[in-house]
Amino acid sequence: MPRSLETGTATATGQPACAYTRAMNEPQSIKLSAAWRELKRERVAFSVLAYAGVALALCEYVILPVRFVEFFPGAMVEYAPGVLREGWDRVPAGSDAPWWGVLLPFMWWCGGLLVVWVLVPSLLTRLFGQRVRDMGLGVRGLLPKLWVYGVMLAIVLVGVWWASTRPGFTRMYPMVKPWYWKNWSWVMLLAWWGIYALQFFAVEFFFRGWLLFTLEKRFGCAAIAIMVVPYCMIHFHKPLPEALGAIVAGTVLGWMALRTRSIWGGWLVHVSVAVTMDTASLVKGDWGLPHQFWP
């Protein structure tokens, strides 16, 4: 094969590099050696995208909170009967359970995401010969542009206010329902928000960090579009406006992450929006915010 067809460079006779493009439109011979060379050349991008598919499958079929309920029904009966019966008022009289039991499915969810979206990608980053801290963990580029995230948050909060007027809003948020517990308290709500914040770190590290910065080396700014596809997919369990909004939010946050070389601005926005949405739902719903600190 001429050198121009292998590398895309100009031939000795001055033929343009687009000869490679023309060759790609013609049938090619099937050789394992050629397939191995192509995979080796694109090993980082292939590995990253293949693992992204594995990670999303694990999240759907193993890590979601509902999977904990399916996998460990005995633990749910003992520690979280309010979740199992979708309300403490449906639990048999005289029953009791530790207040943290309700959080077990969400601890499973958060812990699983930290493994598949943070730990494994960090190990792969080292295998690629890159540094984990270069996956957006710095703050130096963020601080001068932090005000931009403040503007973004203000715009998003307008959407949160609109969403709070929708009928399904108070049914969706918070994901940990006050009626799962025997006694609703601030300790329970703050513990849930702590788990939620850790989960958002996993989200930002995986999408705006690892996926974006590893693919940037191969695809440049187009890595944002590649990252947005799986990011939208993890919102398929949410209302349609939120799933569609994830495309816009993922694009903007991805662009900002490339400019600041940091994931922390997106994390701050995510946590702030989540806490605001939970608070708005509780205030507009029948339960309201807790009236006691301890259960």
Residue 103 within any structural domain of the chain: yes
| Residue 43 and residue 159 share a domain | yes
Residue with tokens 């633990």: 75
The pLDDT value given to residue 20: 45
Q: List CB contacts of 154: < 8 A, sequence separation 6 or more.
A: none
| Residue 68 and residue 3 share a domain | no
| Residue 2 and residue 109 share a domain | no
| Residue 251 and residue 153 share a domain | yes
d(CA 209, CA 214) in angstroms, rounded, equals 8
Q: How many domains does the chain have?
A: 2
| Residue 57 and residue 13 share a domain | no
Residue 293 within any structural domain of the chain: no
| Residue 189 and residue 112 share a domain | yes
Give the dihedral sign, CA 144/145/146/147: positive
Which residue segment(s) compose the domain that 23 sits in?
A: 1-30
| Residue 2 and residue 137 share a domain | no
d(CA 227, CA 75) in angstroms, rounded, equals 36
Residue 291 within any structural domain of the chain: no
Report which residue type is found at 63: I
In the predicted structure, residue 21 carries a pLDDT above the cut 60: no
Residue 154 within any structural domain of the chain: yes
Average pLDDT for the chain: 87
Residue 166 within any structural domain of the chain: yes
In the predicted structure, residue 78 carries a pLDDT above the cut 90: yes
Q: What is the pLDDT of residues 208-260, one digit of tens each?
A: 999 999 999 999 999 999 999 999 999 888 778 888 989 999 999 999 999 99
In the predicted structure, residue 2 carries a pLDDT above the cut 80: no
> What confidence tier does 25 reach under pLDDT thresholds 50, 70, 90?
low
